[in-house]
Amino acid sequence: ALGFDVRNRKARRMTASARHGLDLVHQFSDLQAHRNGETTTIVRGEGVHVFDAEGNRYIDAMSGSSCASLGFRDERLVQAMTEQAGKLPYYHLFAQKSHEPAERLARQLSAMAPEHLNHVLFANSGSESNDAAIRIVRAVNISRGKPEKRRVIARHAGYHGSTTLSASVTGQAHMRFGSDSVSPDVSFIPEVCHYRHGHDGESEEAYAARCAAELEAAILAVGPDTVAAFIAEPVMASAGCLLPPKGYFQLVDEVLRRHDVALIADEVVCALGRLDSPFGSTRYGLRPDLMTLAKPLTGGYFPLSAVLMTDEIYDTLTLESAKSGLLGHGLTYGGHPIGCAVASAALEIYAQADFRANLHATIATFERHLAAIADCPIVGETRNAGLLGALEIVADKTTRRRFDAMENVTLKIGRALQKNGVITRWTRETVNLCPPLVISEDELEVLFGALRASLDQVAAEVAHEVEE
């Protein structure tokens, strides 16, 4: 009888839960909103469009989660996955085993990477690749006889992942779920954004020098002997396309070399064409010791990430693993053959001359639309690097005053946009844009038409706060 009761209770609970779609715990999502029935179930994708269960079609102006650079059903990628699944659907890279898809992809990546980065370690996600990069820097310092040199410096508003270590260097407190305080091995410095933090009349170069001085002060405050790495996105993507001020990374490089601190470039979003260059590092002149890649690597079709490293780091890892018998790091699915096969196909597409020429033209159109939309009364600034962009939303364009947080203005814009057929993401201060690299001129026209309509709609709603 007891068993029957339990089954009955469970059956009743399951019916209710299925009705509300509560079996599934969503991620980076408002769980209460799901309980209230505000769930958009995506059933199909085609080019830059996705379709929901009700048959509505949307332009996905975020490429899913900044990964579907080639859109949502590229047959070449689907074929690469299918072929690999039919040949060797799984193998690992442990215990002196290897497979051809991982070897080929590593060769492709090191051939296209900056000259000093020639070795690739695979993982499944951006978070894991950043974890691995931090572990590697620490392991190298232990090998150099400097075990206390393990601290990481990161920036406020930066996003590096959702595993314990990558979350601990994420500068958005509300995303450090389950760990209220900052890790003792991490220091934060302010994010870089000339629009927000530049002083009146301060040039970008002067602001960059001030930011680099802040980094150096943070290193000196804890002692250079304790600092292993500085982790930074070339352009801070999820924070709302925060661009490095002119000359910033050159000055940062000097500071890091002076104090023997490694640079980890988190290129999880920036790499592979998004910024109109192979890597954010090539565009902005960074010389990272380690570089992490993920999202566009497989166009989002399979979880795969990579850590690129220098010869020196690779040699140290080799030496250490010879001593202990193995490299003390490994993931069952790190370098999965299906992921590697689809990534190889994606890299071949990104490298095609006509693909790059089209992208270049698309970016010019994107920039024209961004410039035009900057005249909206609640848009303080538009920013972009290639096809990564954002609108900074303000209540007063002259003083750059923000809206009262309670107004949830960017959430309102996001919701209006979705009603108008465009999916995007936002922060409290920005509306973010990261469309597939294959978006056409006509689709950009539609996207920006919907964006203008939504901005006008919300501006009218909050007119009492807006200073014209």
Could you say whether residue 238 binds ligand PMP (CB under 6 A)?
yes
Type of residue found at 312: E
From the list 237, 255, 275, 390, which residue makes contact with ligand PMP (rule: CB under 6 A)? 237
Name the residue nearer to ligand PMP (CB basis): 143 or 282.
282
From CA 101, how far away is CA 113, in angstroms rounded? Answer: 18
Q: How far is the CB of 397 from ligand PMP (least distance, A)?
A: 29
Residues numbered 41 to 80 that lie near ligand PMP (CB under 6 A) are: 65
Out of 63, 69, 127, 310, point to the residue binding ligand PMP (CB under 6 A). Answer: 127
The two three-digit tokens of residue 428, written as one number: 């409290």
Distance (Å, whole) CA 461 – CA 408: 12
The nearest distance, CB 455 to ligand PMP, in angstroms, is 25
Q: Does 339 bind ligand PMP (CB under 6 A)?
A: no
CB of 153 to ligand PMP, least distance (A): 16
Nearer to ligand PMP (CB atom), residue 277 or residue 420: 277
Alpha-carbon distance of 432 to 413, in angstroms, equals 11
Query: Residue 58 or residue 159: which is nearer to ligand PMP going by CB?
Result: 159
Of 294 and 417, the one with the shorter C-beta distance to ligand PMP is 294
Give the length of the chain.
Answer: 468
Nearer to ligand PMP, 170 or 382 (CB): 170
> Measured on CA atoms in the order 453, 458, 460, 461, is the torsion positive or negative?
positive
Q: Nearest approach, Cβ of 12 to ligand PMP (angstroms)? A: 36
CA dist., res. 287 & res. 281, Å (int): 7
Q: Find the binding residues for ligand PMP in span 158-197 (CB under 6 A).
A: 159-162
Q: Does residue 125 belong to the site contacting ligand PMP (CB under 6 A)?
A: yes
Is 362 one of the binding residues for ligand PMP (CB under 6 A)?
A: no
Span interacting with ligand PMP, options 111-119, 124-132, 219-227, 397-405, rule CB under 6 A: 124-132
Choose the binding region for ligand PMP from 100-108, 125-133, 316-324, 411-419 (rule: CB under 6 A): 125-133
Q: How far is the CB of 20 from ligand PMP (least distance, A)?
A: 26
Calculated CA dihedral for residues 379, 239, 444, 49, nearest 10 degrees: -130
Query: CB of 242 within 8 A of CB of 157?
Result: yes
Options 96-104, 156-164, 336-344, 373-381: segment touching ligand PMP (CB under 6 A): 156-164
391 in contact with ligand PMP (CB under 6 A): no
x/- map, 215-234, ligand PMP, by CB under 6 A: ------------------x-
**Least separation, in Å, of the C-beta of 281 and ligand PMP?**
13
* C-alpha torsion sign, points 296, 297, 299, 303: negative
Site for ligand PMP in 258-287 (CB under 6 A): 266, 268-269
What's the token pair of residue 87? Answer: 């040949």
The region of 120-128, 171-179, 348-356, 403-411 touching ligand PMP under the rule CB under 6 A is 120-128
CB of 118 to ligand PMP, least distance (A): 22
Q: Which is nearer to ligand PMP, 131 or 443 (CB)?
A: 131
Residue 239 is a binding residue for ligand PMP (CB under 6 A):
no
Confirm if 155 and 212 have CB atoms less than 8 A apart: no
User: What residue ranges bind ligand PMP (CB under 6 A)?
Assistant: 65, 125-127, 130, 159-162, 233, 237-238, 266, 268-269, 294
